[in-house]
Structure 1
Amino acid sequence: MSSDGENDEFMCEDEYDDDGFDQDEDMDDVDSTSEPDVYDALSPALEEAPQKKPYDVTWKVRTLQEIIDMQNKEIKKIQSLLEVPPSTAAILLRHFVWNSEKLQEQFWNDPNAALEEAGLSPPTSPSTRTHNLPPSPEKRSNRLLRPTSVSGSSRTRSQIRTEPFECPVCCMDFDTSAVEANTFAMGCGHRFCRNCWGEYLSGKVKGEGESAKIQCMERGCERVVREEVVGEIVTADILKRYHNLLNAAFVADSPNLRWCPHPNCEFIIECNQAPPRMLNQLVPTVECKCGHELCFGCGYGASHRPVLCRIVKMWEKKCADDSETANWLQANTKECTKCQSTIEKNGGCNHMTCKKCKWEFCWVCMGPWSEHGTSWYQCNRFDERSGIDARDTQAKSRASLERYLHYFNRWANHEHSAKLDADFYKKTEKKMEQMQNSGNLSWIEVQFAKQAVDAVIKARITLKWSYCMAFYLKRNNMTELFEDNQRDLERAVENLGYLLEQNIVDTDSIAKLRQNITNQAAYVQKRHDILMDDTLKGYLERRWEFSVDI
């Protein structure tokens, strides 16, 4: 067996020359134009149309093959620069998160440290020796790939292959004739049977979802398993999943790439204009070729404009947390039947007294306590706190909850209405057919109804997120203007929704309804653009002040 640190037992020098990574050099990717110290391999410039708005971003939809080509191009580049095998270049790049500049800097400063850090054997260790083929003249002086002398190696390739072997995992014995065919060891020299290697690698790939950083089976050995080793040992389905995991890791490591989150979509979005430091000023909405919008900043599977990504995350967490709070308050607080003050049952007895109006009542039926008699007053009680302090604390909590519910109810209402409007498409299509038959209109002429439904749904989604933003805004003049725009859009949407639900009476009503719907839909679009444009420009101008840190 070879103990070469740069190839494993079945590899030879010829395989390095035919590395399988050759790709056309004239790929459509170009050099990165992103800022320094950003993954240059993953940041090609995008040739897109000029931005329409200062808060918009440009993007490009990539296929999986394009992502694979991007990796292979960078691997080939590093292979040529560092004069290492392609598998070594791939492991180094994945370890340094595809930052080739950082990789080259550390490699040229200390090759041994860079290789060891990435899970490869250093060039001066015994595991870098090659026994299967003599070095070529041009590589004879390259100590990284072919060291001329090795010290400390006590076992040669022939010795290893002529000795019987017992697998340390399954304890299977192999005689001298079966060792070569049924066992395997990487450059680190730790040998196991191929069945154990197959189970180990399959478990790592299929069970744990690991790919780029699978290490040797030997405890404490940090040698990384090369891609060709996996391909030699595992089955075809495991190998396919292994490559899928490598591609997924490449996309995850790049700040300029993101998978489309929608089911059954395999496209990747590339955008180099939305770095994390800009997400307090931009809401980078992009559209995939599958027809769905998504936020490139946080990966949200739909547009959440005009709200910043951080606000969206806080809002969704608050909704998840405060929904339980609301349920608790509904179960543990009631209103006094006399003065409607909020009362919390913080004692075990059902005999309640309102501290504001002194009304005594039963917590169970809310009826007067005088009708129950003393026989009901036999419950164990909890220790009660000071009434005034408890009431003040509860009043503040209740006021905070009421404010949250004010915005949450409107947020949820528009979300629900948008879903209902989507179902309204079917009714609209029937109405469009009716208008065709009754008004002698063509299919193109009745498309105004569908376009109006599109405008309503789009506006409702924007209104939904506007209430999320309003919840976190500080009260000032800018907030007043924001709410004015919000109110105008909301009124326009409700008016358009009302028109879309009107019944068709006769031919004359069709013409009038068409005109009204067309005009109102245009007004909705105008109010939507005003709200969106003013809000998103406000981020760039830093006009908005929030009650939380963004």
Structure 2
Amino acid sequence: MMHNEDNDDEYHYDDTDDWNYDNYEDFGEQIDDNEDIQTKDVEHFDYRCISFSEAKDILNELINSITNRIKLNYSLAKMLLIQCKWDANEVLNKYFACDNEYFECKGVKPFHKSWEDLIEACRSKCFYSPTAESNQQTTLVAICCDVCLDSKLKDRFLSLICGHSFCLDCWFNYCRVNIQNGQSTGIRCMNSDCKLFLPEDFVHFIFQNSILLREKYDLLTFRESIDAYIRMRLCINSECQTVVIAQEQPSPKRVTCTNCNNSFCFECGNDYHAPTDCKTILLWYRKCADDSETAHYIRAHTKLCPNCSSCIEKNGGCNHMSCYSCKHEFCWICLGSWDIHGPQYFKCSKYKENLDIKNESDRAREALKKYLFYYERWDNHMKSLKLEDENRERIQAKIDDELNRNNGTWIDWQYLLRGAKILSKCRYTLQYTYPYAYYMECGPQKELFEFQQAALENEIENLAWKIENAETTDRGALENQMTIVEKRRTTLLYNFFQY
């Protein structure tokens, strides 16, 4: 189990289990013979790739399942589902329980007995019709807008269900700026004290004469809808219109887009990183960038959202931050929730001195030494992977040459390509064992991990040598080495990959 601390140097694996192995090598051999490891693929993940239109159909079915049950209009039902991570059962349960506080937190006006009537009143209030005979006299009434301070006729004003009324021009500019900043489902009422979100049909009405802004809003809304749905993830290629949908419980497993062939971790969207978990690899990536000027800027001007770990840049003087991804509001200084600050706000800027530190320079030097130890090995395997890509091309050229000389058949030489593929797969896993080990707490469990890591590395280098010297290596010995190295990799993942 892992603990997330403010300082990434103190982010460790908690060694709570009582490991007591007198001989790690014997234990490793026992694991290798375990039938579960041989039969269970710990990296298997059941998923399928669908188009944007298919994904929209799935989301629309969920929205209709809500509107058919509680007669809520489409836009509000969609907004509720996005805020509730598309958990339809949660929305229905809270609706029938009349949990007003819950829906206030979700940016929706509380439910009551006349909720449907209130929706209709809201619609007639928002979508004001100047052609209605009953409103001909009220259109001549001038009202001052609280945002631009201009006086305009009443038919130029709109309000949400909250009753906060502003002129159409201010609503238009407010929505336009938010959309240009990448916001869509998270746009709130312009009143600073109001937490109500703008429903989709309201924004559509604002942009009824601006097709481009409406299309951009719809695209952003779709992407945010996918991001909020735990079983769906957009392909990491921004030009690819493919959605990956999980057919089982979502987990940090490798998925590959069938359209552009990009592979990534389903849970975090980064490169696949087993056995390291998503939070740890994010810390590692940030730490690896510390030797560049960009990294110094990131450390000074950006922080991770304490709720969803999204990278946030501070572009103003206010310390009241709001995450664009999850809408979590927090303090920039201490990363604590903004709701709990109140009168205690300035206490978070007071430095808490640790009197137990005797020699800070020695600790910093040792921390740097530890980091460089793991980084050099991480970087070395990354470079080796690139060289092995070139080696596969040489192997393919060699196979083509042998076939042109009628020396064997195509099937006879496939074992070399298969060996190169296994080598790359195992070295890729080995590369990501180093961030895992860096944040692991010292103890018997880490000793066991490092033993299996060293065993895997040894077998990988043996396989690499045999492939590079395939002309003088017996085919049976090479294929046997391929089996050994894959078993070592599977053993390590079986014991330490949190799947």
Give TM class, smaller chain.
0.5 to 0.7
Map 1:227-266 to 2 at 5 A: 227-234=200-207, 235-266=210-241
Q: How much does 1:161 deviate?
A: 2.7
Question: How far does residue 186 in structure 1 lie from its aligned partner after superposition?
Answer: 4.6
2:84 maps to amino acid: F
- CA 1:517 to 1:250, structure 2 compared with 1: closer, same or farther past 3 Å? farther
Greater shift in the superposed pair: 190-199 or 459-468: 190-199
The answer to whether the 8 A contact 1:121-1:128 is kept is: no
Aligned-partner residue type, residue 307 of structure 1: T
Is the partner of 1:61 in helix, strand or coil? strand
Once superposed, what is the RMSD of the aligned Cα atoms? 4.2
**Whole-Å Cα distance in 1 between the matches of residues 50 and 84 of structure 2?**
23
Match of 2:458 in 1: 488
- Aligned partners of 1:168 and 1:121: how far apart in 2? 25
Q: Kindly indicate whether the alpha-carbon contact (under 8 Å) linking 1:306 and 1:532 is maintained by their aligned counterparts in 2.
A: no
| Residue of structure 2 in register with 1:163 after alignment | 141
Q: Matches of residues 142-541 of structure 1 in structure 2 within 5 Å? A: 157-164=135-142, 169=147, 180=155, 184-187=158-161, 192-207=166-181, 209-218=182-191, 220-234=193-207, 235-271=210-246, 284-289=253-258, 290-301=260-271, 303-321=272-290, 394=362, 401-439=368-406, 446-471=413-438, 472=440, 474=442, 476=444, 478-479=448-449, 481-499=451-469, 513=471, 516=473, 518-519=475-476, 522-539=479-496
Tell me which of 86, 89, 104 is aligned to 1:101: 89
**Could you tell me how far apart the structure 2 residues matched to 1:162 and 1:260 are?**
52
Cα deviation, residue 260, structure 1: 2.8
Q: Is the 8 A contact 1:449 1:517 kept in 2?
A: no
Q: CA deviation at 1:538?
A: 1.5
Q: Of Structure 1 and Structure 2, which has the larger fraction of its residues in helix?
A: 2
Whole-angstrom CA distance in 2 between matches of 1:132 and 1:317: 47
Rg (Cα) greater in structure: 1
Q: Once structures 1 and 2 are overlaid, which stretch shifts more, 465-474 or 222-231?
A: 465-474
Which whole-Å CA distance do the structure 1 matches of 2:380 and 2:477 have between them? Answer: 22
Query: Which has the higher mean CA deviation after the structures are superposed, 472-481 or 65-74?
Result: 472-481
Higher relative contact order (CA 8 A, sep 6+): 2
Q: How does 1:62-81 map to 2 (within 5 A)?
A: 62-81=50-69
Equivalent residue pairs, number? 380
CA distance in 2: counterparts of 1:427 and 1:76, whole angstroms: 56
- Supply the distance in 2 between the matched residues of 1:129 and 1:421 (Cα, whole angstroms): 62
Q: Look up the equivalent residue of 1:99 and give its one-letter code.
A: D
1:482 Cα deviation after fit:
0.7
Asked if the contact 2:426–2:489 (Cα under 8 Å) also holds between the matched residues in 1, the reply is: no
Q: For residue 330 of structure 1, what is the aligned residue in structure 2?
A: none
Instruction: Give 1:239 shift.
Output: 1.8
SS of 1:299's partner is coil
Change (3 A) 1:470 1:525: farther
Per-residue CA deviation, residues 250-281 of structure 1 (Å, 9 max, x unaligned), is 23223333333245333333337556xxx7xx
Q: 2:367 and 2:220 mapped to 1: Cα distance?
A: 46
Preserved CA contact (<8 Å) 1:492 1:523: no
Is 1:128 paired with 2:118?
yes
CA contact (8 A) 2:463 2:482 kept: no
Relative to the length of structure 1, the TM-score reads 0.57
What per-residue deviation string (whole Å, max 9, x for no partner) do you get for residues 272-322 of structure 1?
7556xxx7xxx5333332433322343322x32233444434444444458
* Distance (whole Å) between structure 2 residues aligned to residue 458 and residue 473 of structure 1: 27
Report the CA distance shift for 1:96/1:295 in structure 2 as closer, same or farther (over 3 A).
Answer: closer
> 1:119 aligned to 2:108?
yes
Q: Distance in 1 between matches of 2:409 and 2:291?
A: 51
SS at structure 1 position matched to 2:244:
strand
CA separation of 1:264 and 1:424: change in aligned 2, threshold 3 A: farther
The code of the aligned residue for 2:490 comes to D
Give me the identity figure in percent: 22
- CA offsets 1:156-175 (integer angstroms, 9 cap, x no match): 74442343566665566667
8 Å Cα contact 2:85/2:230 also seen in 1:
no
1:420 maps to amino acid:
L
Residues 383-442 of structure 1 show CA distances to partners (whole Å, capped at 9, x for unaligned) of: xxxxxx97x974x76566545434332221111011122234444444344333334566
When structure 1 is superposed on structure 2, of 308-317 and 119-128 the one drifting more is 119-128
